[in-house]
Structure 1
């Protein structure tokens, strides 16, 4: 059939010559040039496929389907003949297929099955500028393959907005450029920032364009399906007023619904699309673009490690590309729902996904191919910390050994088209006899909630509001469809069927154990107020969406935030016994001594640990003589007040004999308590302690001997022993005046060097004299005091010369 001319046609001979002679090419072709549909057919027509296939890698499923359909139409054939496509969960191809449009991940699967890509003669990487993770991995592996066993493999990198020099240098490839078929585009920005809901901004822009007499379709770019649904509702009155047809376009729709959005139509359409319509195939009749400036960006959750999507402000390059969709077939207009200063504040280009995402999945695929991700010659090397993080996760999952080599378990995981964490779940489920339930669980963990379910009542068979796992609520949604979004449910069913489908087993406990194999690094112990202590350190708290409320131990499956601000949104119950069975190498046992304040004793506390979290604890009284018990008791035991006089005696001895090396007060108390507690384990046993004997043992040697002679506790006064006090500036004692009768001098301490201060007491126990000169007292003071004492205490004898 006759083809409408496209700008690329004039450049096809040069493109074919480069691929024929050099085997590789970097093609920069502006939007609308026709590179996606014309280049693969030119290879086929020129006989450059050598009876093999040409694989065209597209970043999105919709682009693969549309491009394949366009080329098949141009050949006048149905899809699945010479031209086919293969995307996740779906394909239309046959043994006759020579041109196959595929999403990027399928090339990696093909390489794992056949590292030499037998039967593939050429690979075209379309829209390379989007730099998906799989794109970077594909170009590195294809370059390596072409430099090794497949020098005949033809390789082309194609893009509309590509900085061609770096990739051309990487491939050692020539660069060809081709202009597009641009038409003038009038771009208008929002005059000022607004807080109006996004869907209202879209409706106002659509209404304004048609009031100004727009002739043609409007393509609206929104970040996701939820925003599209809200915008559809907001645009309904405007569509009725202007006779417009409203159509959604996103990856979760059925192929039939997607085809309805892109098919030619005489009725003006408003196509509300995600970024699936940004590139690859021209949508006929689009006269205007409404750009929200927002898009979904792939990222990996630092928590689960699973890939996800988040809403971001897109780069200037993508804004320009979106605007260009309005100028493919005629002059167009672009309404940007953001201001011009905001446009200039955006980054020029998007960061490659390789620089901001989890690498566990590509690293496992490389290991399965016998390659080391660190040694691979990447186009742009990923961050070292991302490589280390991916390797660590794979080791924890058992996919890699300590040397970084793939294990038999890892090979089983690599065969599954899932993130390694989810692949581990599926294999654990297979080994536990629940293969179908585990596959569905993996799908639901990947897809997330199936819709905004309002029913948060108790699950049948569960007590109250609590569940054993938030995943069980998703299983209910999948099976009963209550509250599920139809598009999300369809995607989940397609994914489940692609993994093998099958009737679901009823063993939920086996599923919870299988989850433990997939999330070994997300074990947490739940404390008061929903706080969580994580194995390996760190904390989090249970969020309001989490319905696992009665479990002491959980797996934190999904969370938002980082560090102490992490909020667990989905969890699953586990039992400590499961950890003992699943990770015996991560279990350690400790025995520590701890003082039991309520019982006044030292206990021996035994604990089984999973990493740094206590699993099982027990305590019992420490046996007498247990090493360390007496030291711990000494630390906890209070120094009794009755010990003060003894401490004062020792302090006095230290003062008069510094050469003995007696410790200072604090260290002395410590030494006495350690000595007293030796061989003991409870405060009760301290009750009968002979502290003087303890002091002798603690001091030892000369100091112990001199304690009794140089700092005696008592001295003899006639027939009485009187206590000596050492708590003053000088040792002192007190006793009745009659006790000193017949003594010409008072006692002395410190080897006779220090006299004891004497407090001479009247019968009322009040001192009538304080002195160290007893002889002088008898000669002078006593004679003066005697008359008054005789009158006051006549019953007592007051001789003129007291003697014995």
Structure 2
């Protein structure tokens, strides 16, 4: 038997598991932990139960089980078996079962004690998948409350072991030192030109690696698109055989990429699927493009998007280790050695960036909350709350976030809760739609976003190809068909629905209505916006439902959608449509909008005039208009406010009528008087004097009228408004009207400031002493005015003249 680095760590590992029942194992890439440790645990007879090992990917689970079975000279399904979605190789004698991580959760939810399971191994725990974090948290609770004999082991190549060991109860950390074989790392001499595409730079580096090395080459790229484009750029020697490797490929094609070839050199262009657990036998060289694709969920938009980021140091170490699994190797990095220092140490845990709807459903089914479980990284409270909102919208949780009978049904369907809800309501007919929405688009970019095109291709590819010239990813389409068949097995028959109706069941918050003035732009029922590319036929639709976007939080670009009709929305969501009475000030229209609206979420389906809107409701809305337009006082209102403010300053108990106070208390004093005021023009003509006077009670008005009267009565018995806005109360009147006035007019004990006007209405004198004016300055004024206004009286002694506003009589 070949000796691997992991063998040096097996004795202390078995000892730790015997004594504590838990441990953390650190073992570098190529150490052999995935295939050696479970068999060693079985040989050591640590438990009478089955050993369950979790793998993050289906390919890794199958490969690990097949390798262990081969070691025992058996086939999968004998001593060693595996279970992944849609496939199982497990027999009655199986003692080691390799499963993908989500299957553990289903096993726990079905049997809380994990009956028959003696140990659970979390392989490649450094990937920190959401299912692995949840699985460990649930296993820790089970071991603490129900199964103190349940053995737990976390294994990883690049894991920061201390926090995991602490979480598991300060358990021993066992470390396997060294790689199987040394790896020489080569970096770029200078940083990449930002104008050069990643695929071009990668193809160039692969060509260099082929020329300088021997053996198979494993190239890491972020996704299938980059793999295809890089493959098209490669011009390699005839003995080089290129094999793509990514998750959506059929299993037989994945196996072909892993299996050694008889002649020539193999060049595998892979995503991060090849980072862990897999040993590609003939690889001696790694070319790392230095990028990783991750899902990012935005709780604000309720949408996820894939982002391409730089790898972390942990990921780069994992990839580098692939070159030294079976012999000395070389790793070519598409970055400089200096740039390596800027790489983040570890990738974010999926629980920090993912959609938590599935997690929230599982915890509700378990009857707990995140706070009650031991998570290595607790979920973000805002994202988790948004996930609960989605589940309530789907009817999976009640108003108290307790799981409903419908929610329990959704939890048993191994797809996202949105798609599970669609299958539960629409039945078998929704299986192809669910399979399409759960998978990568088989038509890719550059194809119209209409979901019906994908359904046509799925139904009959030959007919589709005869009608359209679009390139179809046959492997993806085959995988979608298989998934649709699997989802159909237990689904009921239901009344026929359109594709749009089925998608709307899954995404009731993404039902869209085209904005009236903006073609290709849609308002969504969840309150967000979406945009359809120009030239898309779907852009002219009145209604649609969005199945996929680029995840932009401001205005998401639609990648996949289905048409929907007004009547379909009414039929599908009859219980969720509500009439809202809308009465609000519109800044744009400068008036109160009074409407009745039938809404579905944030969408307005019908909008009509609210003819019998109550006056008090309109007045309340107009208050916002007043705040927008500001308060403008008429001259009488200004004078009244000035009278009140004068007395307030003198110490009298009167309401504050300063501009700030009026605005702050506007709803108290103005609201009862706004009947009939709806527009900016109405407000412009509205006199505030009456509402302001209404602020004073009878006694207060008597006080104001007595201490600060509104008018001064002239010798002609004419009432002149007194202006209190200046430093002194003031009146303005014609000079001739004050003839005969021998005492200066006063308000209370305060003399009035008097502005005397010429017959033309121009000021000729301002005084606070009328008798003094008659005795002094009047003579000069008389001399000047007589010549200008000879028809008007200018007596030598104005104190003896009669007040008048008339001209002199003609001589007879």
What is the TM-score when the length of structure 2 is the normalising length? Answer: 0.75
Question: Which residue of the partner structure matches residue 233 of structure 1?
Answer: 232
- Tell me the distance in 1 between the aligned counterparts of 2:689 and 2:15: 106
- Tell me the distance in 1 between the aligned counterparts of 2:165 and 2:690: 91
Taking structure 1 as reference, are residues 306 and 442 closer, same or farther at Cα in structure 2, changes over 3 Å only?
farther
Taking structure 1 as reference, are residues 769 and 223 closer, same or farther at Cα in structure 2, changes over 3 Å only?
same
Residues 655-706 of structure 1 deviation map (CA, whole Å, 9 limit, x = unaligned): 99999989989999x99x98997876799999x9999999999997659999
Question: Which residue of the partner structure matches residue 544 of structure 1?
Answer: 533
| Residues matched between the structures, number | 748
**3-state SS, counterpart of residue 25 of structure 1:** strand
CA contact (8 A) 2:513 2:522 kept: yes
**TM-aligned CA deviation for residue 376 of structure 1:** 0.5
Taking structure 1 as reference, are residues 374 and 398 closer, same or farther at Cα in structure 2, changes over 3 Å only?
farther
- Tell me the distance in 1 between the aligned counterparts of 2:282 and 2:432: 41
Taking structure 1 as reference, are residues 418 and 303 closer, same or farther at Cα in structure 2, changes over 3 Å only?
farther
Taking structure 1 as reference, are residues 510 and 55 closer, same or farther at Cα in structure 2, changes over 3 Å only?
same
Question: Which residue of the partner structure matches residue 491 of structure 1?
Answer: 479
Question: Which residue of the partner structure matches residue 138 of structure 1?
Answer: 135
**TM-aligned CA deviation for residue 493 of structure 1:** 2.2
CA contact (8 A) 1:316 1:347 kept: yes
Taking structure 1 as reference, are residues 182 and 731 closer, same or farther at Cα in structure 2, changes over 3 Å only?
closer
**TM-aligned CA deviation for residue 262 of structure 1:** 1.4
CA contact (8 A) 1:32 1:180 kept: no
1:368-379 alignment, distance < 5 Å = 368-379=365-376
**TM-aligned CA deviation for residue 109 of structure 1:** 1.3
Q: 1:526 aligns with which of 515, 519, 525?
A: 515
**3-state SS, counterpart of residue 338 of structure 1:** strand
Question: Which residue of the partner structure matches residue 285 of structure 1?
Answer: 282
1:705-716 alignment, distance < 5 Å = 711=711
1:769 matched to 2:802: no
CA contact (8 A) 2:592 2:618 kept: no
**3-state SS, counterpart of residue 335 of structure 2:** coil
Question: Which residue of the partner structure matches residue 801 of structure 1?
Answer: none
1:275-674 alignment, distance < 5 Å = 275-302=272-299, 305=302, 309-427=306-424, 430=425, 434-456=426-448, 470-479=450-459, 481=461, 482-500=470-488, 507-509=496-498, 511-512=500-501, 515=504, 518-520=507-509, 526=515, 528-529=517-518, 540-544=529-533, 548-550=538-540, 557-560=547-550, 564=554, 566-570=556-560, 573=564, 575=566, 578=569, 582=573, 587=578, 589-590=580-581, 592=583, 605-607=595-597, 616-619=606-609
1:88 matched to 2:76: no
Taking structure 1 as reference, are residues 797 and 441 closer, same or farther at Cα in structure 2, changes over 3 Å only?
same
- Tell me the distance in 2 between the aligned counterparts of 1:409 and 1:773: 103
Question: Which residue of the partner structure matches residue 53 of structure 1?
Answer: 50
CA contact (8 A) 1:676 1:691 kept: no
Question: Which residue of the partner structure matches residue 466 of structure 2?
Answer: none
**TM-aligned CA deviation for residue 348 of structure 1:** 2.2
- Tell me the distance in 2 between the aligned counterparts of 1:63 and 1:300: 26
Question: Which residue of the partner structure matches residue 802 of structure 1?
Answer: none
Residues 74-109 of structure 1 deviation map (CA, whole Å, 9 limit, x = unaligned): 222233333322222333333343322211111111
- Tell me the distance in 2 between the aligned counterparts of 1:712 and 1:645: 14
Question: Which residue of the partner structure matches residue 153 of structure 2?
Answer: 156
**3-state SS, counterpart of residue 340 of structure 2:** helix
Question: Which residue of the partner structure matches residue 100 of structure 2?
Answer: 103
Question: Which residue of the partner structure matches residue 254 of structure 1?
Answer: 250
CA contact (8 A) 1:593 1:622 kept: no
- Tell me the distance in 2 between the aligned counterparts of 1:366 and 1:653: 65
RMSD value over aligned CA atoms? 5.4
Taking structure 1 as reference, are residues 483 and 770 closer, same or farther at Cα in structure 2, changes over 3 Å only?
farther
Question: Which residue of the partner structure matches residue 464 of structure 1?
Answer: none
Question: Which residue of the partner structure matches residue 459 of structure 1?
Answer: none
- Tell me the distance in 2 between the aligned counterparts of 1:765 and 1:231: 101
**3-state SS, counterpart of residue 137 of structure 1:** helix
Taking structure 1 as reference, are residues 31 and 402 closer, same or farther at Cα in structure 2, changes over 3 Å only?
same
* Structure 2, unaligned runs of 5 or more: 462-469, 724-728, 761-785
**TM-aligned CA deviation for residue 414 of structure 1:** 1.1
Residues 404-457 of structure 1 deviation map (CA, whole Å, 9 limit, x = unaligned): 322222212211112223323333xx2xxx32343333333332532335443x
**TM-aligned CA deviation for residue 520 of structure 1:** 3.4
CA contact (8 A) 2:54 2:120 kept: yes
**TM-aligned CA deviation for residue 510 of structure 1:** 7.6
CA contact (8 A) 2:500 2:544 kept: no
- Tell me the distance in 1 between the aligned counterparts of 2:41 and 2:688: 102
**3-state SS, counterpart of residue 157 of structure 1:** strand
Q: 1:178 aligns with which of 172, 176, 193?
A: 176
Residues 308-364 of structure 1 deviation map (CA, whole Å, 9 limit, x = unaligned): 643221111221222222222222111112111111211222232223323321231
Taking structure 1 as reference, are residues 746 and 766 closer, same or farther at Cα in structure 2, changes over 3 Å only?
farther
**TM-aligned CA deviation for residue 189 of structure 1:** 0.7
Taking structure 1 as reference, are residues 558 and 766 closer, same or farther at Cα in structure 2, changes over 3 Å only?
farther
Taking structure 1 as reference, are residues 505 and 473 closer, same or farther at Cα in structure 2, changes over 3 Å only?
farther
CA contact (8 A) 1:675 1:697 kept: no
Taking structure 1 as reference, are residues 575 and 7 closer, same or farther at Cα in structure 2, changes over 3 Å only?
same
Residues 448-478 of structure 1 deviation map (CA, whole Å, 9 limit, x = unaligned): 532335443xxxxxxxxxx9xx544543453
- Tell me the distance in 2 between the aligned counterparts of 1:48 and 1:677: 85
- Tell me the distance in 1 between the aligned counterparts of 2:172 and 2:691: 93
CA contact (8 A) 1:724 1:733 kept: no
**3-state SS, counterpart of residue 237 of structure 2:** helix
**TM-aligned CA deviation for residue 171 of structure 1:** 4.2
**3-state SS, counterpart of residue 372 of structure 2:** coil
**3-state SS, counterpart of residue 413 of structure 2:** coil
Taking structure 1 as reference, are residues 661 and 577 closer, same or farther at Cα in structure 2, changes over 3 Å only?
farther
- Tell me the distance in 2 between the aligned counterparts of 1:210 and 1:773: 122
**TM-aligned CA deviation for residue 775 of structure 1:** 7.3
What is the TM-score when the length of structure 1 is the normalising length? Answer: 0.76
Taking structure 1 as reference, are residues 588 and 77 closer, same or farther at Cα in structure 2, changes over 3 Å only?
same
CA contact (8 A) 2:548 2:559 kept: yes
Comparing 380-389 and 245-254, the one that deviates more: 380-389
CA contact (8 A) 2:507 2:545 kept: no
CA contact (8 A) 1:630 1:674 kept: no
Residues 284-318 of structure 1 deviation map (CA, whole Å, 9 limit, x = unaligned): 22121111112223443546656664322111122
Comparing 697-706 and 135-144, the one that deviates more: 697-706
Residues 215-269 of structure 1 deviation map (CA, whole Å, 9 limit, x = unaligned): 321111111111111122222x3132xx111111111111111111111222221
Taking structure 1 as reference, are residues 640 and 225 closer, same or farther at Cα in structure 2, changes over 3 Å only?
closer
Question: Which residue of the partner structure matches residue 189 of structure 1?
Answer: 187
Taking structure 1 as reference, are residues 406 and 750 closer, same or farther at Cα in structure 2, changes over 3 Å only?
same
**TM-aligned CA deviation for residue 272 of structure 1:** 1.3
Taking structure 1 as reference, are residues 733 and 387 closer, same or farther at Cα in structure 2, changes over 3 Å only?
same
Taking structure 1 as reference, are residues 710 and 662 closer, same or farther at Cα in structure 2, changes over 3 Å only?
farther
CA contact (8 A) 1:359 1:390 kept: yes
Taking structure 1 as reference, are residues 679 and 630 closer, same or farther at Cα in structure 2, changes over 3 Å only?
farther
**3-state SS, counterpart of residue 99 of structure 2:** strand
1:38 matched to 2:36: yes
**3-state SS, counterpart of residue 269 of structure 2:** strand
CA contact (8 A) 1:605 1:620 kept: yes
- Tell me the distance in 2 between the aligned counterparts of 1:689 and 1:328: 86
Taking structure 1 as reference, are residues 513 and 527 closer, same or farther at Cα in structure 2, changes over 3 Å only?
farther
